[in-house]
Structure 1
Amino acid sequence: MKALITLTTSESKRLIAKGVKGMSCVQNALQRHTVIVAGGTTNAFVAEELLGITIEDKTGYTMGIVTQGELGVSRSTKKKSPYVIVAGNVVETPWKDYLPQLKTGDVFIKGGNALDHTGLTAVTVSDSVGGTIGAAQGVLYARGVKLIVPIGLEKMIPDVRQAVEFMTKSPLDESMGHKVGLIPMLGAIPVTELTALETLYDVEARCIAAGGVDGSEGAVIIAIEGLDEEIQRALRDIQALKGEPPVSVQ
């Protein structure tokens, strides 16, 4: 059986978050190790799914944000620090202070701003020392900690490596909003809508189109194929998350 589903960007974020939760490495880390859910609007959805909580203002769970047609920073009055989850329980230790304790089996979840067809991801940074990924990446590489990047297909660009090389060969002179750099996240595991669908259901998933208007800007159209019962199960679950409110600045 084959079916088409259409997801708005917020519906994609919810599906991706459920897919992250369904990954075996994340389940293992939740039970026996540590999960750090770094900042980001998609990661706010991930935190909700992992912890069974509600984050009303998801723009408060991020620092950088693209809104009103420019690069900026969140001005939310409801700021939330990234969650550090140890053996299923939230601890109060700030994530940067916890970094030296990370080890194999732990998981670090970081949002991204760019994804290409090879699976390479990158994140924009305006902080002078590279932001979250600048602080964490060395530790993750050195200790064999899995870096998971929940990222919607709306963020797909032609070539991440070319984009990084173009950005680093000369400094920025002007910008609509904050000036940012672009840091690649080599070795990261991207989790898109397709990954989520294939994690949660025994289906094959392919993105066949994208875009829309009147609130469906950035929407993706995905074809899924599998046994009738799996397709029907997927469709029921997708229908249940339809209508996910858009992330808006409060």
Structure 2
Amino acid sequence: MSASESSRQFLLTVSMGKRLIADALAADEAVLRAAKEHCLVVIMGSTNAQIAAALAEKLSLPFSPQGFHRGLQLGPARAVEHPAPQSADFIVRAGELLRDKTVFDIADTLGKDDLILKGANAVHLKTQSAGVLIGSPVGGTMMPILQAAVGRRTRLIHPVGLEKRVERPIGELAALASRSNDGKGLRLLQSCGEVFTELDAIEALFSLRAYLLAAGGVCGAEGSVLLTLSGSEENLLRAERYFRSIQDTPSFSL
């Protein structure tokens, strides 16, 4: 840190982190260009529900985050009754919402100018790689996504919260998941997509460097991260005002 820079600590809850990532991506020129001029695909997920809501507001499109998810990791022995999930991803082509469509319907039409946002279940910060849990015997949404991303160079971004960080490289963990002796449990797929965490969102929105200092807490701070932000005092004040404005962001609910 140079003599002209300042630093400050901020605590982000999981819900604040999702909101931060959503606001940063909804302000990103490449994301907006894909939605307005090409095709943007936001795959159903808890973080992506926030992203789709932010984009829908910016693009004046209808959207409800209720039920915008596929598989969910719930607490142990927790029985939850909830409405059926939505049946469509949030897909915008040339500014128009493609209603009742999923990535399975349009993957074959995606190309290098298009963009896919797909959440992740694991992130390895050192290698900037993401892993996606696979429960489907045919690979779930990642199969058509990889066909587009690998086969036709469609840009793929994984918005993922820091609470999903893992210690070992994703490829190593994927191999462990595949070696289950009883043949049960989820698999883990290492993706070729880009990682976008709260650290990236802070740099994009406020031109600040963010470092993970500590994590965890209780009474609503479970899964939270304590970050140190470094940069100009002006940008730190902007970040502080923003974090104050989102501190009451509600937790994900069904």
The answer to whether the Cα contact below 8 Å between 2:69 and 2:85 also exists between their aligned partners in 1 is no
Structure 1 residues 172 and 150 mapped into 2: Cα distance closer, same or farther (>3 Å)? farther
Tell me what 1:113 maps to: 121
Q: Deviations over 1:150-186 (max 9, x none)?
A: 1000000112121001112345455xxxx31111112
Partner AA of 1:135 in structure 2: P
Tell me the residue number matched to 2:68. 61
Structure 2 residue aligned with 1:83, among 90, 94, 113? 90
> Is structure 2 residue 179 aligned with structure 1 residue 169?
yes
Match of 2:153 in 1: 144
Are residues 1:181 and 2:190 paired?
no
Structure 2 gaps of 5+ residues are 1-5
Calculate the TM-score normalised by the size of structure 2: 0.89
Residue of 243, 247, 250 corresponding to 2:252:
247
* Alpha-carbon distance in 2 for matches of 1:71, 1:124: 20
Alpha-carbon shift at residue 140 of structure 1 (Å): 1.6
Report how far residue 132 of structure 1 moved.
Answer: 0.7
Q: Deviations over 1:180-217 (max 9, x none)?
A: 1111112x111100000001111111111110111110
User: What is the Cα deviation at residue 75 of structure 1?
Assistant: 4.7
Contact in 2 for aligned 1:19/1:191 (Cα 8 Å): no
Q: Are 1:216 and 2:221 an aligned pair?
A: yes
SS in 1 for 2:226: strand
Q: Which letter does structure 2 place at the counterpart of 1:102?
A: L
- Structure 2 contact 53–65 (Cα < 8 Å) conserved: no
Pairwise CA RMSD of aligned residues?
A: 2.1
The whole-number CA distance in structure 1 between the counterparts of 2:110 and 2:237 is 40
Is the Cα contact below 8 Å between 2:88 and 2:99 reproduced in 1?
no
1:6 is paired with a residue whose SS is: strand
Contact 2:87–2:100 at 8 Å: present in 1 too? no
Q: Go from structure 1 to structure 2 and tell me whether the alpha carbon gap of 1:138 and 1:171 turns closer, same or farther (over 3 Å shift).
A: farther
Give the residue type in structure 1 aligned to 2:73. Answer: V
Please report the TM-score for the alignment, with normalisation by the length of structure 1: 0.90
Q: Does 1:126 align with 2:135?
A: yes
1:94 partnered with 2:104:
no
Cα distance change on mapping 1:38 and 1:56 into 2, 3 Å: closer
| 1:134 Cα deviation from its structure 2 partner | 1.9
Identity of matched residues, % = 29
Comparing 191-200 with 87-96, which one deviates more in the overlay? 87-96
Structure 1 unaligned residues grouped into runs of 5+: none
| SS across alignment from 1:130 | coil
Amino acid at match of 2:89: P
Shift of 1:237: 1.1
Q: Rate the CA distance shift 1:50–1:85 in 2: closer, same or farther, 3 A.
A: same
Q: 3-state DSSP class of the match of 1:61?
A: coil
- Equivalences, count: 242
SS in 2 for 1:64: coil
Aligned pair 1:27/2:32, yes or no? yes
Instruction: Please give the per-residue CA displacement for 1:14-49, whole angstroms capped at 9, x wherever unaligned.
Output: 001112223332122122111000011001001001
Range that drifts further, 77-86 or 41-50: 77-86
Separation of aligned partners in 1, 2:230 and 2:44: 34
